[in-house]
Amino acid sequence: MASHGRVLPDGLADLRGLEPVQDQFRDVLAILEAERGREQGGRTVRRRAWKNLVFTGGPGSGKSWAAAAVARAYWKLGLLSSGHLLEVAPADLNWTDAGETGALADKVFRNAMGGVLMIKGADDWYQLRDRGLHLAGHLYAQLTEYRVTRDDQVAVIVTGQADPLHKWLHGHPQLAARFLAVIDFPRYRGCL
């Protein structure tokens, strides 16, 4: 369970059958821990890594369980102030009017402050008429604002089926750059 010399947080280490996910998350933690260590050692980190992640995989593959483990791990590392998980659906961020969409996104981000915001089924945005362009713009703006003005106190995890989610991110490269890693979840076959 602790390959690469890195112990996984409670919850994620317990997911039997998700070893590939565990390995990918160890890599994410290594980056964030190294950066945190440099900062605590008095070194300046000019370009901090983004804490945001993309989880791809089908329903029941362990993404929500893993997102809760990520929230706890980020809190234990001191990257987030509370480490709670707020799960929302794409519809919770989408409105017919762009101004309303911005207001909804702002409210959701405020509720997630200090923790992880998990947007479940974000691959649905690719099916929209504009391929999720206006939603990508709002998400990009919120991520940037919270990094600059709110000490990066929200981490976002978007989840969904791999193919449409990859296409959506590929269509929005500036937004895609805000995500540290894409973690692919195989069909979950283990037992807790």
User: What CATH number does the domain containing 98 carry?
Assistant: 3.40.50.300
Confidence class for position 175, pLDDT limits 50, 70, 90: confident
User: What is the reported pTM?
Assistant: 0.83
> Which of 115, 20, 102, 108 minimizes the C-alpha distance to 61?
20
Domain that holds residue 153: 8-184
Helix, strand or coil for residue 118?
strand
189 falls within a domain: no
Mean pLDDT over 109-138 rounds to: 75
68 falls within a domain: yes
122 falls within a domain: yes
pLDDT at 33 over 80: yes
Q: Strand 116-119 relative to strand 85-88: parallel, antiparallel, unpaired?
A: parallel
Report the domain count for the chain: 1
* Residue 56 tokens, joined: 């791809």
Q: What share of the chain is helix, strand, coil (3-state, %, to 5)?
A: 50, 15, 40
